[in-house]
Chains A and B, each alone.
Chain A
């Protein structure tokens, strides 16, 4: 008998959840942003750890700055929905030499949810970059959609 109030509370919550106006809220924090994280390779691929770079600067060529001299272990960037490729400038430290990254992809409009509406989803094809500070990179997930995944990892050998 002591569980009855709890059961009623769960039922009421479920009923309210079922009655929720789904057009009012967008439950996605990031929609179709490309996730990039930084990794340090200290023993030829045997010891790989996430790393925080102290002064990361990143922006799309010809556009506003996304991150400006901030300590970061990962960056999320929006790809160009009007073109099949996007070019980004990336500098990890004020002392480091900047790199350029070019992402090539296919685009498709997608209905995310009643609250979020439509968004462009991307399928990564190729990533081209300069290797000034970056040593190598890996594409973890080609589908850039409403999940907050890390799609590309950039590796630095130290």
Chain B
């Protein structure tokens, strides 16, 4: 279990580092745009000069023969935006303990900027579920991880602004083990009281999350984030006769989809700058 968790952490960190490194070595935009565009204009001028003018349109030809000024394109605007790693904790999981006292969750989130709009995001967490009443006793614990991307829709007022309004998609994976040390099935009509236990069982689950939310820089490099997400189960190896009460990271064990919300507090480590090149040409209007 611990080995799987450590393996997941190392793979996720490696992926994030890869994203970050790749983001820094972004290829520069081709510098010869201006030459490439001016060439055809010169060529056409030469071609026109080479063609002998006919009598009837000699005036027009003379007009055309005049050298046209070369169409120059403005060079791309190149600037740098801050890039870095944002690491945080989902504090809504602690509030959840008040509503669902049988579950204890800890969730860590991290995201790194890949380019101007795209962020790679991972999330890792732990869940422990413990419930006991007159009918049964349940114990379970497990780990989960999600990995995905967030797309930032916010039009920035300043290139250094790090606030986000995002939508994203994640793939989630959880491994959970659970058991019922004792249960009772009472039938009032038949006057029966059956007791039993369910042995420790392990299960894995895979799901997809669609999420959206905001991240706001409340203090310098200190962020507050709010988000909602819909989780859709892809597959679960849980036994139909005994599904877990809680699947770590997903939620209720007997549901195929689950709505959830997050409230994160995170710190941003400014590690690198990302080169962004944008065309300064006015966008063509559609006819």
A residues touching B (Cβ–Cβ < 8 Å)?
11, 14-15, 17-23, 60, 63-64, 66, 78, 80-82, 108-111, 113-114, 117-121
B219 contacts the other chain (CB 8 A): no
User: How far apart sit A17 and B99, CA to CA, in the bound complex (Å)?
Assistant: 11
19 extra A-B contacts, CB within 8 A, seeds A66-B189, A109-B185, A109-B194: A18-B251, A18-B261, A20-B99, A21-B101, A21-B102, A22-B245, A22-B252, A23-B131, A23-B245, A78-B190, A81-B187, A81-B194, A82-B190, A109-B183, A111-B241, A117-B184, A117-B185, A118-B184, A118-B185
B127 to chain A, nearest CB (A): 14
A119 CA / B254 CA spacing, docked (Å): 16
Q: Are A17 and B190 in contact (CB under 8 A)?
A: no
Query: A81 near B190 (CB under 8 angstroms)?
Result: yes
> Does chain A have a CB within 8 A of B136?
yes
- With an 8 A cutoff between CB atoms, is B76 at the interface? no
Q: Does B259 contact A (CB under 8 A)?
A: yes
- Say whether B53 faces chain A, with CB atoms less than 8 Å apart: no
User: Per-position contact with A for B175-187: 1 when CB-CB < 8 Å, else 0?
Assistant: 0000010011101
Q: Nearest 4 A-B pairs (CB), nearest first?
A: A117-B135, A19-B99, A118-B183, A14-B259
Is B243 in contact with A111, judged by CB distance below 8 angstroms? Answer: yes
A78 to B192, CA, bound (A): 12
Task: For residue B275, give the distance in angstroms from its CB to the closest CB of chain A.
Answer: 39
Closest A residue to B133 by beta carbon equals: A23
Contact present for B194 and A21 (CB under 8 Å): no
Which residues on the B side are within 8 Å of A81 (C-beta)? 185, 187, 190, 192, 194
Cβ contact of B242, chosen from A21, A64, A111, cutoff 8 A: A111
B258 interfacial contact with A, CB 8 Å: yes
B18 at the interface (CB under 8 A from A): no
Cβ-defined contact, B259 with A15, below 8 A: yes
Instruction: Tell me whether chain B's interface is mostly helix, strand or loop, or mixed.
Output: strand
Q: Beyond A63-B190, A117-B135, is A17–B259 a contact (Cβ under 8 Å)?
A: yes
Whether the Cβ atoms of A120 and B185 lie closer than 8 Å is yes
Residues from chain A with Cβ under 8 Å of B254 in the complex: 113
20 CB contacts below 8 A, A to B, read A15-B261, A18-B259, A19-B99, A21-B102, A22-B100, A23-B131, A63-B189, A81-B190, A81-B194, A82-B190, A108-B241, A109-B241, A110-B242, A111-B180, A117-B135, A117-B136, A117-B183, A117-B184, A117-B185, A118-B180
Inter-chain contacts of B70 with A (CB < 8 A): none
- Residues from chain B with Cβ under 8 Å of A66 in the complex: 189
- A64 and B259: CB pair below 8 A? no
Q: Name the residue of chain B whose CB is nearest to the CB of A108.
A: B241
Assess whether B228 is interfacial by the CB under 8 Å rule: yes
Q: Across the interface, do B261 and A114 meet the contact criterion of CB distance under 8 Å?
A: no
Q: Which residues of B contact A121 (CB under 8 A)?
A: 241
Q: A18-B260, A19-B100, A21-B99 are in contact. Are A120 and B194 (CB under 8 A)?
A: yes
What is the interface residue range for chain B against chain A? Answer: 20 to 34
Identify the closest chain A residue to B254 (Cβ): A113
Please give me the residue from chain B that is nearest to A113 by CB atom: B254
Q: Give the docked Cα–Cα distance between A17 and B135 (Å).
A: 24
Given A23-B131, A81-B185, A109-B196, A114–B241 Cβ distance below 8 Å? no
Q: Is B198 an interface residue (CB 8 A)?
A: yes
* Residues of chain B lying within 8 A (CB to CB) of residue A11: 228
Separation of A14 and B231 alpha carbons in the complex (Å): 13
CB-based contact B100/A21 at 8 Å: yes
In the complex, what residues of A have CB within 8 A of residue B185's CB? 81, 109, 117-120
Nearest CB of A to B40, in Å:
50
Query: In this assembly, does B234 line the interface, its C-beta being within 8 Å of a C-beta of chain A?
Result: no
User: Separation in Å of the B240 CB from the closest CB of chain A?
Assistant: 8
Q: Are B131 and A114 in contact (CB under 8 A)?
A: yes
Q: Which residue of B lies closest to A82 (CB)?
A: B192
